[in-house]
């Protein structure tokens, strides 16, 4: 089983739609969680951290479910510019941090 798993997609949605991605992780000792965004042929960039109580940043909402070991990302009112690959990142803090990336979920927003 992979350490961090995501549905690769692609998720094809029209502009204005709401879309949600899930990410599951296998190591219950994981302590920090993030969503990164990667545009085609670009480097990954931090989208948002994921806090235990859930957090929101504009149209983006992140949730963490430690019991079931998954995190989610909800995007409301999708824009064309949201088209990208969304990478789930899980951090193990064993001495030094080890970041493990999911395989990414591709989102395509169409007009």
Partner 1 sequence: DTAVSQTPKYLVTQMGNDKSIKCEQNLGHDTMYWYKQDSKKFLKIMFSYNNKELIINETVPNRFSPKSPDKAHLNLHINSLELGDSAVYFCASSQDVPGRALSGANVLTFGAGSRLTVL
Q: Which residues bind partner 1 (CB under 8 A)?
A: 31-32, 34, 36, 38, 42-46, 49, 85, 87, 89, 91, 93, 95-101, 103-104
| Least CB distance to partner 1 at residue 100 (A) | 7
Q: Is 62 helix (H, G, I), strand (E, B) or coil?
A: strand
Identity of the residue, 30 or 78, whose beta carbon is nearer to partner 1 in the bound complex: 30
DSSP 42: S
Identity of the residue, 43 or 58, whose beta carbon is nearer to partner 1 in the bound complex: 43
Identity of the residue, 58 or 95, whose beta carbon is nearer to partner 1 in the bound complex: 95
- CA distance linking residue 103 with residue 93, whole number of Å: 21
For 9, residues 6+ apart whose C-beta sits below 8 A from its C-beta are 105, 106, 107, 108
């Amino acid at each position: 089983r992979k350490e961090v798993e995501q549905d690769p997609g692609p998720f094809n949605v029209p502009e204005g739609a709401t879309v949600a991605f899930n990410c599951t992780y296998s190591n219950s000792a994981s302590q920090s969680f993030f969503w990164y965004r990667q545009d085609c042929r670009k480097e990954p960039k931090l989208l948002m951290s994921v806090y235990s109580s859930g957090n929101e940043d504009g149209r983006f909402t992140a949730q963490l479910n430690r019991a079931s070991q998954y995190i989610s990302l909800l995007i409301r009112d999708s824009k064309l510019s949201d088209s990208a690959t969304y990478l789930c990142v899980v951090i193990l803090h064993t001495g030094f941090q080890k970041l493990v990336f999911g395989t990414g979920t591709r989102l395509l927003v169409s007009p």
